Amino acid sequence: MQQTLKRWQNGPYMTIGLVAINLIIFLIMSVDGGTENTQTLLRYGAVFKPAILQNGEWWRLVSGMFIHIGMTHIVMNMVTLYFVGIQIENLFGHFKFIFLYFLAGIFGNLASLVLGNPLALSAGASGAIFGLFGVWLMLGESFRNNPYIRLMARQLGLFVVLALVSSFWQPGIDIYAHVAGVLAGFLGGYVVGIPQIGKVENSKRWIAGLVLVALVAACFWVLITKSAF
């Protein structure tokens, strides 16, 4: 019993839990109007700028991370989340992983609100998932002498570049959320640190934290200022 409990505590239960929640919400939406129905998306909490700025529904910055539009969207995101998530959760631990995931997802949605189409619906875990890629880039910069981390960072870095470039030719892709997610994950990785692998310089942690706070504050300032007019 103790071994089973220890195995569960050491396992990627945050990643598995996130995948399960996303799939459950997708199934519920599928039978309650459809995941591609605009009204259903709005009712379940998709990111929609007028609803946030005019009605004060800031909770959509979080709920939008758990809503997906169509089967391809949910399958691609959940497969990626599972395989990348279990690695980040294993390296950083459960609570740092979940912090980085939500940080990237929320900041991605904020950036989308500031820079994206003001009348477009936005949904999905892509910003948070791209944040996990950003964490790997941080690891590659900080621990480049580790051959495994260096290889993974290079491979995922190439994938991120190709994914972002291809986003410009694919309709319906929220490029701003993706870019902001990568940035938040990259900076957030420095902030939380990873003593299991090695020490991250305090100067880098402070600079990353200050830049991250400044970016989040700037986004909120722009949005609140706009909503006042």
Positions annotated as catalytic residues are 126, 178
Report the DSSP beta bridge partners of residue 48.
Answer: 121
On whether the CB atoms of residues 97 and 88 are closer than 8 A, the answer is yes
- Which 3 state secondary structure label does DSSP give 48? strand
The tokens for 109 are 């949605």
- Which 3 state secondary structure label does DSSP give 124? coil
Residues contacting residue 49 through CB under 8 Å, at least 6 positions apart: 113, 116, 118, 119, 120
Determine the Cα–Cα distance for residues 11 and 195; give it in Å rounded to an integer. Answer: 19
Determine the Cα–Cα distance for residues 15 and 94; give it in Å rounded to an integer. Answer: 9
